[in-house]
Amino acid sequence: MYAIACIDKNYGIGKNGNLLISIPDDMRFFRETTKDSVVIMGRKTLFSFKNKEPLKNRINVVFTHNLELKNNYKNFDNIYFISNKSELNDILLKYSDKKAFIIGGEKIYNDFIDLCDTVYITRIDKEFDADSYFPNLLEHGFKITFSSETKIYENINYKFITYQKI
């Protein structure tokens, strides 16, 4: 299983239900990396998307305690609402030809980080005011296996880093 996230210097990922920053190159990397995959998220992350709609060209799996939510998504054939991990296993079996990505937020990253073997991080070299965080990858036994050169967006430095459990 894979995870993908954009984090700041302190592992911050969001504030008030939104991203800390939106970098076009990072958005493109996310779209290309997760295309045609199963993306697994918490309900708050779904609600952070434009019009609260599922991501196109992906199977969206959303954790929630309120399964009635599915009534609001009858027009979409690419979204599942689940409330436990065994339902997730059933969906992953159904789509076993696809990669599965944990895409946030804090709660879901924490619950699944130990099931991931590869994590794609966009690391922003800046401290933001955050209220949600990614787990510390070194404490979870990950090592860096790839790091891009430093890139710059509006005076902010960032890098694409791959972590793996090895």
Chain residues in the site for ligand NAP (CB under 6 A): 5-6, 13-14, 17-19, 41-45, 48, 63-66, 83, 103-108, 132
Question: In angstroms, what is the minimal distance from the CB of 148 to ligand NAP?
Answer: 17
* Token duo for residue 128: 């933001």
Question: In angstroms, what is the minimal distance from the CB of 78 to ligand NAP?
Answer: 18
What residues pair up with 41 in beta bridges, in sequence order? 62
Nearest to 161 by CA among 150, 149, 146, 151: 146
Q: Which is nearer to ligand NAP, 19 or 91 (CB)?
A: 19
Question: In angstroms, what is the minimal distance from the CB of 109 to ligand NAP?
Answer: 7
Question: In angstroms, what is the minimal distance from the CB of 101 to ligand NAP?
Answer: 11
Q: Which is nearer to ligand NAP, 67 or 166 (CB)?
A: 67
Q: Which is nearer to ligand NAP, 145 or 158 (CB)?
A: 158
Question: Are residues 47 and 17 in contact, defined by beta-carbon separation less than 8 angstroms?
Answer: yes
